[in-house]
Structure 1
Amino acid sequence: MSASSAQFSNSEEDKMAPEEKYIETADAPSDDSNVSLTLAEKKALTRRILLKLDIKIIPIMALLFLCSFLDRTNVGNAKIYHMEKDINITDHQYDTGLVIYYAFYIASELPSNLVLKRVSPKIWLPMLTAAWGITAMCLGFVRNYAGLMIVRAFLGATEGGLLPGIVLYLSGMYTRGEMALRIGLFYTSASLSGAFGGLLARGINEIGTAGGLEGWRWIFIIEGLFTVVVAVFAYLILPNSVDEALDEEESAFARQRLYDDKPKMRLENGELSTESEKFAWSEVRRGLLSPQLWFSATAYLAILAALYSFGLFLPTIIVGLGYSANDAQLWSVIPYAVAAVITVGVAILSDHLRLRGVIMLVSLPLAIIGYSVIANVTSNKVKYGMTFLMATGLYATVPCILGWISNNSAGHYMRATTTGTQLAIANCGGFIAAFIYPKKQGPQYFTGHSVVLGLLCFAWVMIFFNVLYCAKINRDKASGKYDEFIGSGDDRDPEFKMVL
């Protein structure tokens, strides 16, 4: 879309497919009507736009992600209520049930992101949510190992597209400098899911054998039903684009902000165009070969291995500290709640400073310290105290690493590839998480904590390398080494600076 033909005529807009309107209206510059606005008026309009977008988008994203985490980790809550015994599976078979989820979750992430534009976020994200909600309910009716494996596989396949889809969707609604806070706000629901999950599990389990079903089965059924309700709610409310979320004046200004935030491509006739939205395998290949992808994805893999194992096994760890199953659910709430508050604060700081990797180099050591101590002490009080550092260091790091690769990728399919692949690689951490806390290690879990400690140290090094790599690209662009890409319309353009 060229700058000289920014506004669609009504007839042209009416002819567009819904998915085309979603992408194109977000990329189109506005007319010149806001040029006359003063700086104070532009700031006030920006605040009003962001408030409206935040109100209409972030709560829905948070609810979807809350449901995602509840439905993937509630198996950990069900475990301490004797799920393994009731369906006659071993500890190893339970771990295998966790692993098959991640296998299908990973396989669905990149394809889902490539489909998102064609179907549109308003349809695709709620559809995925409803599908996994129904699947999660089915977990309440499994009777054996085979049933567990089949349902967990379907759960992974339906949940896999949500997080990369949300990141891709938000990148079309907010500028690069606003992403970390928004990711932090909805990702906070993941830590809250740990808190609410424990409380819900305890309350739901009190249902007992209602309907001839054990209490742990009702955990899956009720939480899955809640997810389906949220999916319907999301479909009714979620806007596809800034045009659907804002009034005419606001949407024009919002489009201009997004347009100004993207690299431009100079056409043969001399006009400027934003990033091309036509699918090209060369963009997929460029994304897959990006060093930033592999630095950030391997770091995120290590972080997620820690995060997933923390969520799946925290109740078991607390039981190992001497608490009953019901008390363990309650005591698991507090570390998550503290982490939620700090995660939002770190995300605000990240956006304010326009830094991602540098922030993580400071926040991740909190988790490293926590795992270092908990693996080598015997005091239950000290161990429980370390779970606060572990939760805070892990959750506070995620918004930055999720937004980083999206910030530094330009071109829809380049960004779709890097965000989808990053998460596909990172979620391989689930395979590690499933096996590093077997019961026989309890209550000390020295080996499990030591493995996670090593992974987090590796993540810190990869983040450091990526900061150095991004800084080098910026220096090379400043020195003219990327001048051949002037007007390329993607992240290689010298005017497109990498976020450190």
Structure 2
Amino acid sequence: MEHKSGVMEVEDPKQSELNRFGDHEHQHKLTRRVLLKLDTRILPMLALLFLCSFLDRTNVGNAKIIGLEKDLGITDHQYDVGLAVFYLTYICSELPSNLVLKKASPKLWLPFLTTLWGIITMCLGFVQNYAGFVAVRALLGIAEGGLLPGMVLYLSSFYRRGDLALRIGLFYTAASLSGAFGGLLARGLAEIGPRGGLEGWRWILIVEGLLTFACGVLSFFVLPNSLESASFLTQEEKEFGRERLLLDNPKAPDGTLSEEEDAFRWSEVRRGILEPQVWFSATAYFAILSGLYSFGLFLPTIIQSLGFAKDANEVQLWSVIPYAVAAVITVIVAFVSDRLRLRGTVMLFTLPIAIIGYAVIANVKNPHIQYGMTFLMATGQYASVPCILVWLSNNSAGHYKRATTSALQLAIANCGGFVATFNYPARDKPYFHRGHTIILGLLVFAWFMILFNVLYCAKVNRDKRNGKYFDSHEDAIEHNPLQVHHLREQILANAKFVYRDDNIDLLTGVDLDQEDIRYAHLIRRTSYSDRAPMAILFGDQRTAR
């Protein structure tokens, strides 16, 4: 059956392989069982690692307000340089780390990175001067840079694209929880005081680094390398999970990646770099992270400048509440995004929450209203991140192209760290009008970049319906309408219907070796869509509506 656009969709022959797992009801139960096991064994560990990551990069913000600058003898500008150098090395390490991940294996690489930056964080607690502070922060960036792109890539080897937003949302909630947890932990550790010749802020870094090291060691024993090596899955569950992933693969028409296609090629890296969606999403993410990192690094300073907290310890406690609220909202938004199967459109509604927060806090002087706006600032930004991470991954085909687009997006986005570190200088106290206004402008820019990407997705899908399509190298080509009609008749003559409804026909018996059929828009390789896959048809997904 044809769509109104005249395009027919053809079933991936691999779809029929799921039939060996029983009827639809049994497959549904298998799906729920596999996802539940993955969710309870993998996600908590990744969330813990990500919590440690955010905790160890932003804990200097808590250390600052209880004496770090004074004890090291550094100026406010030197402190900002120490923050900025972290993001320089962080960005430089993201893409190489992601390309190494597959060869090194996730079970080894992710725990190695975690234990390494745990040790480095502990070392930060022993620095004595400006040079040591900058050097250790630079090393911390190298170690932490590979974690987030590695985890996104790692999750894509266990979950279908439509399952990812909620899962990434769940572990990204740890970023906002790290702010809440970090504030509480800093409040307690600061009470240790100068024990053993160490100031209170040093204990924050040493203890949190030690906790990270322990989590890294634990992750080695918890995280599996792949579905096949997951000891908590039965053999049937492993095979079923693998088949689901193959059907969700947008790269190959037969649902698999050949050894040649899965091998590293610089052409795959080039395709990732030239992908327009990378630049739309990466620049939007850059703007969001500029605000997010500013918030994480300077929220204690902002709250302290409001004047209603009696001391530094009370400031730590007041900083907990906005993060806790943001964590809850982030999970809700990720769930809604997966249910609606929308990414960009959801962000068009979440980002304005943060925009309102920054617009108000930049223009009012009432400390209680300003504090209230920090809830909107945190919620709007944290809730947007899972959607923007998954959106690009959904539309990237092939391991190394996906690795490139994911790492490139994050490398560009994390340049926002440079904006964040210099955005709230001490001379702008107590209102920080300039810093709030800069983030406000960046978030408005991000909103428009997301809108452009939504429109770009719609245009590509509309062009496909009108006869444009992509070959195996994603190059746009035209196809003679008469030839398309001939190919359609040829398919119908030799194929067998296995399922049909108002929107779609599933066929078997199609000769996929015919080059004209494989390159015709009847069989599309990748769909650039604002929606996650609703039906897996020849590695394609339905277009955005």
Same-fold status (TM-score > 0.5): yes
Counterpart residue identity of residue 327, structure 1: E
CA distance in 1, matches of 2:134, 2:447: 34
Counterpart residue identity of residue 76, structure 1: G
Task: Tell me the residue number matched to 1:339.
Answer: 326
CA distance in 1, matches of 2:160, 2:255: 19
Count matched residues: 468
CA deviations over 1:96-153 (Å, ceiling 9, x no partner): 0000000000000000000000011110000000010000000000000000010000
CA contact (8 A) 2:252 2:539 kept: no
Map 1:445-464 onto structure 2 (within 5 A).
Answer: 445-464=432-451
Residue from 149, 155, 169 that aligns with 2:134: 149
- 1:38, distance to aligned residue in structure 2 (A): 1.6
Map 1:263-342 onto structure 2 (within 5 A).
Answer: 263-265=250-252, 273-274=256-257, 276-322=261-307, 323=309, 324-342=311-329
CA distance in 1, matches of 2:228, 2:103: 18
Q: Does 1:113 align with 2:98?
A: yes
CA distance in 1, matches of 2:446, 2:279: 11
Unaligned runs of 5+ in 2: 1-13, 473-516, 529-537
Distance 1:215 1:163, change over 3 A: same
CA contact (8 A) 2:527 2:543 kept: no
CA distance in 2, matches of 1:248, 1:132: 36
Map 1:394-473 onto structure 2 (within 5 A).
Answer: 394-473=381-460
CA distance in 2, matches of 1:480, 1:307: 42
Q: Does 1:70 align with 2:105?
A: no
Residue from 367, 370, 373 that aligns with 1:386: 373
Task: Tell me the residue number matched to 2:494.
Answer: none
Greater gyration radius: 2
Residue from 474, 481, 488 that aligns with 2:468: 481
Task: Tell me the residue number matched to 1:100.
Answer: 85
Does the residue aligned with 2:229 lie in a helix, a strand or coil?
A: helix
Counterpart residue identity of residue 449, structure 2: M
Counterpart residue identity of residue 257, structure 2: T
Greater shift after overlay, 389-398 or 479-488?
Answer: 479-488
- 1:47, distance to aligned residue in structure 2 (A): 0.6
CA contact (8 A) 1:164 1:420 kept: yes
CA distance in 1, matches of 2:218, 2:229: 16
Residue from 205, 208, 213 that aligns with 2:198: 213
Task: Tell me the residue number matched to 1:371.
Answer: 358
Task: Tell me the residue number matched to 2:495.
Answer: none
Identity %: 64
CA distance in 1, matches of 2:40, 2:219: 13
Q: Does 1:86 align with 2:71?
A: yes
What TM-score, normalized to structure 1?
Answer: 0.91
Q: Does 1:43 align with 2:28?
A: yes
Task: Tell me the residue number matched to 1:222.
Answer: 207
CA distance in 1, matches of 2:197, 2:356: 46
Counterpart residue identity of residue 496, structure 1: D
Does the residue aligned with 2:216 lie in a helix, a strand or coil?
A: helix
Aligned alpha-carbon RMSD (Å): 1.8
CA deviations over 1:425-461 (Å, ceiling 9, x no partner): 0000000000010111111100000000000000000
Does the residue aligned with 2:196 lie in a helix, a strand or coil?
A: helix
- 1:477, distance to aligned residue in structure 2 (A): 2.1
Does the residue aligned with 1:316 lie in a helix, a strand or coil?
A: helix
CA deviations over 1:10-48 (Å, ceiling 9, x no partner): xxxxxxxxxxxxxxxxxxx79947435121111111111
Task: Tell me the residue number matched to 1:496.
Answer: 540
- 1:263, distance to aligned residue in structure 2 (A): 2.3
Does the residue aligned with 2:263 lie in a helix, a strand or coil?
A: coil
Does the residue aligned with 1:210 lie in a helix, a strand or coil?
A: coil
CA distance in 1, matches of 2:169, 2:44: 12
Distance 1:153 1:197, change over 3 A: same
CA contact (8 A) 1:404 1:499 kept: no
Unaligned runs of 5+ in 1: 1-28
Task: Tell me the residue number matched to 1:3.
Answer: none
CA distance in 2, matches of 1:333, 1:418: 34
CA contact (8 A) 1:30 1:255 kept: no
Greater share of residues in helix: 1
Greater shift after overlay, 477-486 or 254-263?
Answer: 477-486
- 1:241, distance to aligned residue in structure 2 (A): 1.0
Counterpart residue identity of residue 174, structure 1: Y
Task: Tell me the residue number matched to 2:223.
Answer: 238
CA contact (8 A) 1:76 1:312 kept: yes
CA deviations over 1:377-417 (Å, ceiling 9, x no partner): 01111011100000000000000001111011010000000
